[in-house]
């Protein structure tokens, strides 16, 4: 595919997406007429370029837990994603605005993302932390709530009322409020406020939610344009619309068409998705979206899911899993995911992974990291997180090279066979 570059609608020239190479269609392709939407490209932002496909580590509260921004840059991260809801809670969006924006506040000179707070609508409401591959056999209820949780968020047509998990104070989020908060946080890429449902919600509720998210999306675009004009001296912030619709093909296609009709700079593929349908869901959405807009797959970091997402159109991916797993002792390697805290590693003086170039593997042994994690030393969290984040950054870098080099299918087959050879999770 020939190189093309297009400045997106509503963009004053500081944000654009350059599409370089795309996978060829095949008989097994999940898109329309066998299309495979996987591609390489470059997202141009005011704070630098992101070569895609790329993994975007999650610095939830303007910080990677136990890892400094310069260490994230050294391990190869191109951009970081923070959480608008948590930054609203503390230190507050006004602080970040006064500091010159998210990147400057946390000492990161590269591109940044913020999510809208839509996930917190689910986690505070239904109480679920993980929505991919949820087991919903025989369960359909619009009043579902996770065991042992109290409902802290309530959705209405205008927005969401919720209680703060920090202090119990009542707050209100709407399309306009989310846009105001994210503009002051100042990330290069932000997401429209959406409603994230669970797979347990009924078909009727999913339909109503898709339409509500569309109405909120239109309000987000209008407020984004107003704030962009009002804050003309600030770097341009791109706005992505989010496609919902759970596991329903017609709802995903309808939602994708709705988002495509609006003046967004990119698209977020969000919502609860059964693992078996991840690739297909991405393909449904890409069928209905223009090629000129970058696509971000929200909350994905299992190796097979990454391949499914890339092959079917995902350009960027984020997830807290690599850091969270690392702090608990689970490390990712080419030969699978395993727990470095196991007894067998107490006297193992080799690196986590022999051919890994990350700082942890170049300087420390399995035995030392095992000891640190058992002793609850923060250095253990740091080293395990550096390795895991590097693993996923490198994985996407290598996938990108395989698409450009014309050997994606072989790389996918060999990588998955090796990683899951022993039935490894992740």
Q: What is the CATH number of the domain that holds 189?
A: 3.20.20.105
Answer yes or no: is 425 within a domain: no
Phi, psi of 81, rounded to the nearest 5 degrees: -115, 130
| Structure token digits, residue 283 | 């393909």
Active site residues: 115, 318
220 marked among binding-site residues:
no
Is residue 351 domain-shared with residue 391, that is, in the same domain?
Answer: yes
Answer yes or no: is 326 within a domain: no
| Structure token digits, residue 378 | 């923060």
Rounded to the nearest 10 degrees, how much is the dihedral formed by the CA atoms of 381, 386, 389, 394?
A: -160
Is residue 210 domain-shared with residue 105, that is, in the same domain?
Answer: yes
Is residue 373 domain-shared with residue 397, that is, in the same domain?
Answer: yes
Nearest Cα neighbor of 21 from 3, 9, 45 is: 3
Q: Which parts of the chain register pLDDT below 50?
A: 1-13, 125-137
183 marked among binding-site residues:
no
10 marked among binding-site residues:
no
Range of the domain at 173: 4-319
Nearest Cα neighbor of 224 from 243, 207, 238, 242 is: 238
419 marked among binding-site residues:
no
Which of 319, 349, 370 is at the close of a domain? 319
pLDDT tens sequence across 368-417: 999 999 999 999 999 999 999 999 999 999 999 999 999 999 999 999 99
Per the CB < 8 A criterion, the answer to whether 17 and 41 are in contact is: yes
Report the sign of the C-alpha dihedral through residues 118, 119, 122, 123, in that order: negative
Mean pLDDT rounded to a whole number for the chain: 90
Is residue 314 domain-shared with residue 337, that is, in the same domain?
Answer: no
358 marked among binding-site residues:
yes
Q: What is the pTM of this model?
A: 0.92
| Structure token digits, residue 346 | 């107490």
Spacing of C-alpha 284 from chain mean position: 19
pLDDT at 164: 82
Residues in the chain: 426
| Structure token digits, residue 217 | 């999306």
Answer yes or no: is 426 within a domain: no
C-beta neighbour count of 158 within 10 angstroms = 15
Distance of alpha carbon 86 from alpha carbon 164, whole angstroms: 10
pLDDT at 200: 81
Distance of alpha carbon 103 from alpha carbon 111, whole angstroms: 8
Is residue 104 domain-shared with residue 61, that is, in the same domain?
Answer: yes
Q: How many domains does the chain divide into?
A: 2
Burial 386-416 (b: 16+ CB within 10 A, else e): bbbbbbbbbbbbebbebbeeeebeebbeebe
Distance of alpha carbon 53 from alpha carbon 393, whole angstroms: 10
Does residue 53 have a cis bond before it (omega within 30 degrees)?
A: yes
Per the CB < 8 A criterion, the answer to whether 87 and 59 are in contact is: no
Distance of alpha carbon 43 from alpha carbon 405, whole angstroms: 20
Is residue 261 domain-shared with residue 338, that is, in the same domain?
Answer: no
Residues paired with residue 154 on neighbouring β-strands, in sequence order: 161
Report the sign of the C-alpha dihedral through residues 164, 242, 65, 375, in that order: positive
pLDDT at 197: 82
Distance of alpha carbon 286 from alpha carbon 96, whole angstroms: 34
194 marked among binding-site residues:
yes
């Amino acid at each position: 595919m020939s190189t093309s570059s297009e400045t997106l609608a509503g963009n004053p020239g500081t944000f654009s997406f350059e599409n370089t190479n795309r996978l060829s269609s095949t008989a097994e392709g999940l898109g329309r007429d066998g299309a495979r939407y996987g591609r390489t490209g470059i997202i141009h932002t005011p704070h630098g370029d992101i070569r895609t496909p790329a993994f975007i580590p999650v610095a939830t509260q303007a910080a990677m837990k136990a890892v400094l921004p310069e260490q994230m840059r050294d391990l190869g991260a191109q951009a970081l994603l923070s959480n608008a809801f948590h930054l609203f809670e503390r230190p507050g969006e006004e602080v970040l605005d006064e500091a010159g924006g998210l990147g400057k506040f946390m000492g990161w000179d590269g591109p940044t993302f913020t999510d809208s707070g839509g996930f917190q609508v689910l986690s505070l409401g239904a109480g679920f932390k993980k929505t991919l591959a949820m087991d919903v056999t025989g369960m359909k209820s619009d009043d579902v709530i996770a065991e042992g949780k109290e409902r802290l968020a309530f959705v209405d047509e205008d927005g969401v009322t919720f209680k703060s998990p920090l202090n119990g104070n009542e707050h209100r989020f709407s399309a306009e409020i989310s846009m105001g908060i994210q503009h002051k946080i100042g990330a290069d890429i932000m997401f429209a406020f959406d409603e994230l449902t669970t797979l347990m919600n009924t078909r009727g509720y999913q339909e109503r939610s898709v339409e509500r998210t569309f109405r909120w999306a239109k309000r987000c675009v209008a407020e984004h344009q107003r704030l962009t004009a009002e804050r003309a001296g600030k770097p341009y912030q791109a706005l992505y619309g989010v496609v919902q619709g759970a596991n329903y093909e017609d709802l995903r296609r309808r939602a994708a068409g709705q988002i495509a009709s609006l003046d967004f700079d990119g698209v977020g593929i969000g919502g609860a998705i059964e693992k078996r349908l991840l690739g297909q869901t991405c393909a449904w959405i890409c069928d209905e979206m223009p090629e000129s807009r970058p696509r971000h797959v929200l909350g994905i970091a299992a190796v097979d899911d990454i391949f499914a997402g890339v092959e079917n159109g995902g350009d960027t991916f984020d997830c807290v899993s690599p850091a969270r797993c690392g702090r608990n002792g689970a490390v990712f390697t080419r030969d699978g995911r395993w727990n470095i805290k196991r007894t067998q590693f107490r006297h193992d003086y080799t690196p986590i992974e022999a051919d890994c170039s990350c700082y942890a593997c170049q300087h420390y042994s399995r035995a030392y990291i095992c000891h640190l994690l058992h002793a609850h030393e923060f250095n253990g969290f740091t080293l395990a997180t550096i390795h895991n984040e590097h693993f996923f950054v490198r994985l996407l870098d290598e996938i990108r090279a395989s698409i450009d080099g014309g050997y994606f299918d072989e790389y996918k087959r060999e990588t998955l066979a090796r990683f899951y050879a022993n039935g490894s999770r992740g």
